[in-house]
A and B are shown apart, each in its own frame.
Chain A
């Protein structure tokens, strides 16, 4: 049963520290999405990759957030420096596009980040 994996599952850090979250998409999926879930904003897209190339990161604060796909099996989301308002659950999702469309996005278990 193929699944998206995310590490760490929980992270507590102090303001100003760098945070790196990792995602392993389902084997064979060529699209990766990063979402953030907070009580106030709900679920919102941060970044989107297809074939490892970033296609849309308009939802991501550029000054402190960065997303990369070093290879097809790893996507990373970094926050430097972290702030308390970054506290949220960060979800990675992957999918396989058929033509130009990704029909289903399968979500990982999320990383719960707390910045104190």
Chain B
């Protein structure tokens, strides 16, 4: 069975600090996809990134970066120079590459950026 664990329930930092959100996953599949979604206070789920299990290259997009390490089954997300607008709940998710391809979500990390 697939499982995603986000051990950090809540994180609070001061604006401009860097912050890393942890994600650890379990799967028996050799091919799978990992995702991060953002849920701002308005409630919608915003897609941030998808990573193929074969691609362990780290990715950077502006202030966001992702560190995928297959050896430790982790897919961590770092926000550099955080801003108040980054305050949201962040979900890590996993899907198989075949079959129903449903997203299995972690429980989410509530990130609060204080001015």
Contacts and interface: CB of A to CB of B under 8 A. Distances in A.
A69 interface: no
The dominant DSSP class at the A interface is strand
Interface string A73-116: 00000000000000001010100000011111111111010000
Given A89-B43, A109-B44, A102 B108 contact: no
Given A103-B50, A104-B47, A110-B43, A43 B100 contact: no
A14 interface: no
The dominant DSSP class at the B interface is loop
Interface residues of A, number: 25
A56 B100 contact: yes
Nearest to B44: A109
B68 to A, nearest CB: 16
Contact of A42 (B50, B100, B102, B108): B108
A48 B102 contact: yes
Contact of A107 (B45, B99, B108): B45
B97 interface: yes
Contacts of B42: 109
Interface of A: 33, 35, 42-45, 48, 55-56, 59, 89, 91, 93, 100-110, 112
